[in-house]
Amino acid sequence: MFWGCSPGSSREDLRVESLGSVPIREGTSAPLNLEVREGESIAVQLRGNADEIFFIRGMSGPGGVWVSDEYGAHVLESTRRVLDRYGPLRTSRNPVVPTLGHHLSVFPNGDVPLPPGRYSFVIGAADAVGRSIDTRACVRVSRRSPSVRGRVDLTVHLSGALGWTAENVESSVLPAVFEDVREIYRAANIEIGEPTYVDLAAGYQRLENIEGPGDYREMLAHARRGLNVFVIESFVGGTTSELRGISDGVPGGAWLFEESDPDCSEGTASGSGVVVALNAHRPNEDGFRERTARTVAHELAHWLGLFHTSEGGVLEDPLEDTPSGPEAMRNLLYPDIDGGIELTAGQARILRQHPAIIAID
């Protein structure tokens, strides 16, 4: 299984280097350094044990502090009260979302480019309930220049939900769903390839535990290079049953590593993608195709690095051209299923920065 580009890869648009296996003591690594050239964006990819949470705890360099695990003065007390323990990361200048088993942070994910120079960052790790731990993480850093057009492969993993398999999928509505998704991304100058449909082993139609090791993680391990959409029947159990779809990370990653990597022997998390539950889109009612396509495109946008237009009324997308108020309802990242499919120029730029997107300028 190959996750894209490793050192020595033939991809000309992406330069990848290994920082090896990094020890983390009491939830924090020693500082790691990197040099950024003019106009570059940086992706830092971590991989570790599947039952541990990983994130960038801090990053600073030219232009000041980009990530911090302490709230900045700009964050209102009312906002702090409603956020979880990772609130400081999410409200940083370059917002960070911790991920189970692996992590990807892309810099910048806002409007301000990274000034060239030397940057220092530290890795954080916690157990499933947020307690600081001793562990290790494998680290890759990729670099790329801005791109105005990109392409990416797409694999659709079928669980057998609604009776659809790789053998009969062409007679279902799914090809039309994914053509709608491809059209949405063409507006962002991203060409998603024709879907490759593959069957999953039995047992993944209904998923219950998405918070730790189990069927969810086992299913994601089947991910291939590029974008991966896992089509299931439903999420079950508690509030999980209300989910229409989910992205494994904002952004998602795990693809910069080979399955066997001499620099990164620690860690078991290996796959990443988005999951869409068909039953939540009311398959027996009119509009099923449009609702499903919108959810797939929405979750893929999270996986490629975009946040909701707003979150709970307290967090805003870090891009200036992301609409707010009633205008936001037309945007693909509006958090309701009845939102629109539009993307702004700033959002499209962030999507194309993800290392899975291959530049075709």
Predicted pLDDT of residue 268 = 52
Q: What is the pLDDT of residues 271-329, one digit of tens each?
A: 889 999 999 999 999 999 999 999 999 999 999 999 999 887 778 888 999 998 899 99
Quick one: tokens of 186?
Answer: 């063409």
Q: What is the pTM of this model?
A: 0.93
User: Mapping DSSP to helix (H, G, I), strand (E, B) and coil, where does residue 130 land?
Assistant: coil
- DSSP element (H, E) containing 207: strand 206-207
Question: Given this model, what pLDDT does residue 7 score?
Answer: 39
Q: Note the CATH number of domain 150-359.
A: 3.40.390.10
**Residue-level pLDDT at 261:** 56
Average pLDDT estimate for 345-352: 96
- Are 150 and 357 spatial neighbours (Cβ–Cβ below 8 Å)? yes
Residue 216 has a pLDDT of 87
Q: What is the pLDDT of residue 20?
A: 87
Q: How confident is the model at residue 34, as a pLDDT?
A: 93
Core vs surface per residue 223-253: b (16+ CB within 10 A) or e: bbebbbbbbbbbbeeeebeebbbbbbbbbbb
Considering the chain, tell me which residue range(s) the CATH 2.60.120.380 domain(s) occupy: 15-144
What's the mean pLDDT when you consider all of the chain?
88
Burial class (CB in 10 A: 0-12, 13-18, 19+), 34: middle
Of 138-147, 178-187, 321-330, minimum mean pLDDT range: 138-147
Amino acid identity, residue 221? A
Helix residue ranges per DSSP H, the chain: 77-82, 87-90, 174-186, 215-220, 288-303, 345-353
* Cβ atoms 55, 123 nearer than 8 A: yes
Q: Give the architecture (CATH level 2) of 15-144.
A: Sandwich (2.60)
How far is residue 195 from each of residues 98, 139, 221, measured CA to CA in Å?
Answer: 29, 30, 18
Which residue intervals of the chain bear CATH 3.40.390.10?
A: 150-359
> Which of 54-63, 88-97, 135-144, 308-317 bottoms out in mean pLDDT, i.e. has the lowest?
308-317
* Residue 9: pLDDT over 50: no
110 DSSP 8-state letter: S
pLDDT tier for residue 17 given thresholds of 50, 70 and 90: confident
Give ∠ CA 157-158-161 in degrees, rounded to 5.
150
The average pLDDT across 106-130 equals 93
pLDDT band at 87 (very low <50, low <70, confident <90, very high): confident
The pLDDT confidence band at residue 94, using thresholds 50, 70 and 90, is very high
Instruction: Name the residue among 357, 359, 361, 350 with its Cα closest to residue 41.
Output: 350
The mean pLDDT value for 243-253 works out to 91
